[in-house]
């Protein structure tokens, strides 16, 4: 059930945090150098390995701000990134101008940068492709969310896997998919902060990842893998029952992303901490 936006949400949206910078790659880490351009498609993506490159991520102190989420069931379950909501005193899903759906439960994964949110309902749940066997190096992904607190989208190509090591507010080591950014919303420059928690789609409209971090210097985007998403759902005993989005292409991904946000399949998350004035 929707309700009028409270004062704390107005404070967040209008005054406080426009760019949600909570999770950034440490550029001093031992990240590998950017890979050379690869062919359009390569071989199938190998499984995670102890020999995968490592990327170090700093998880800073939680502060009030904005992120992204997507619906996975009509009874009100949403997926987002853990660092967006893990230390918030209040969390809401913005559903229209001046209205928000309160989040009744926040369940964070202890093994990944993922979290589940529970509202009373969700109008347009999305389907998740749980299989990684058909992922190919060089294939495209389309990332949808609210970078810099505004509607935006990016498309990328799959490079491979890395092991993301998160340190700071919490500690997590998880295998992630690594993508090279190829294009983005016209006129959108700078950081993708605020897109954290948003879905990454393949060309057929299936969710194949959750955007959790970026390295702007290297032009890289990191997503939680399908296997990690499904592991969280099994642990929390939550069933994902949604439908694929329309097919994405490099020509239509902007329009299709806008449609997903209008239908509230992808929505903005607001986090409020105890130090935010009410």
For all residues of the chain together, what is the average pLDDT?
85
Let me know: does 155 contact 262? Beta carbons within 8 Å: no
What's the pLDDT tens digit per position in 201-223? 999 999 999 999 999 888 999 99
pLDDT > 90 in the chain, percent = 70
Per-residue pLDDT band for 41 (boundaries 50, 70, 90) equals: low
CA–CA separation, 86 and 139 (whole Å): 32
Q: Average pLDDT in the 98-109 region?
A: 91
Specify which residues 69 forms β-bridges with.
267
Render the burial of 148-158: b for 16+ CB within 10 Å, e for the rest.
bbebbbbbbbb
Query: Exposed e or buried b for every residue in 128-142, given b needs 16+ CB within 10 A?
Result: bbeebeebebbbbbb
**Residues composing the chain:** 278
Phi, psi torsion values for 100, nearest 5 degrees: -145, 150
Label residue 32 by pLDDT band (50, 70, 90): very low
Judge whether 162 and 202 are in contact, CB under 8 Å.
no
Instruction: List, in sequence order, every residue forming a beta bridge with 222; answer none if it has no partner.
Output: 178, 213
Contact status, residue 264 vs residue 144, Cβ threshold 8 Å: no
185 secondary structure, DSSP code: S
What does pTM read for this prediction? Answer: 0.86
CATH code of 3-29+51-272, in short, is: 2.40.10.120
Listed by start position, the domains of the chain span: 3-29+51-272
């Amino acid at each position: 059930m929707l309700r009028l936006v409270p004062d704390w949400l107005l404070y967040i949206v209008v005054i406080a945090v426009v760019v949600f910078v909570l999770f950034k790659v440490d550029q001093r880490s031992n990240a590998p150098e950017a890979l050379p351009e690869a062919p359009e498609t390569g071989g199938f993506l190998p499984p995670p390995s102890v020999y995968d490159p490592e990327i170090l991520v700093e998880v800073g102190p939680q502060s009030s701000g904005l992120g992204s989420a997507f619906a996975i069931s009509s009874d009100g379950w949403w997926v987002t990134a853990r660092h967006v909501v893990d230390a918030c005193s209040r969390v809401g899903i913005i559903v229209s101008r001046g209205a928000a759906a309160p989040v009744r439960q926040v369940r964070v994964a202890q093994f990944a940068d993922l979290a589940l949110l529970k509202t009373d309902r969700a109008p347009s749940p999305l389907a998740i492709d749980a299989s990684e066997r058909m992922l190919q190096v060089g294939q495209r992904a389309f990332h949808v969310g609210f970078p810099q607190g505004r509607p935006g989208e990016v498309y990328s190509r799959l490079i491979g896997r890395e092991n993301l090591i998160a340190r700071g507010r919490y500690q997590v080591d998880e295998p992630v998919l690594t993508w090279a950014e190829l294009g983005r919303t016209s006129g959108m420059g700078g950081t993708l902060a605020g897109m954290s928690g948003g879905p990454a789609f393949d060309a057929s409209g299936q969710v194949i990842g959750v955007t959790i971090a970026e390295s702007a210097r290297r032009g890289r985007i990191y997503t939680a893998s399908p296997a990690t998403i499904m592991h969280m759902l099994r642990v929390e005993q939550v069933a994902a029952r949604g439908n694929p989005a329309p097919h994405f292409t490099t020509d239509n991904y902007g329009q299709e992303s806008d449609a997903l946000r209008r239908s509230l399949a992808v929505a903005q998350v607001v986090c409020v901490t105890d130090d935010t004035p009410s």
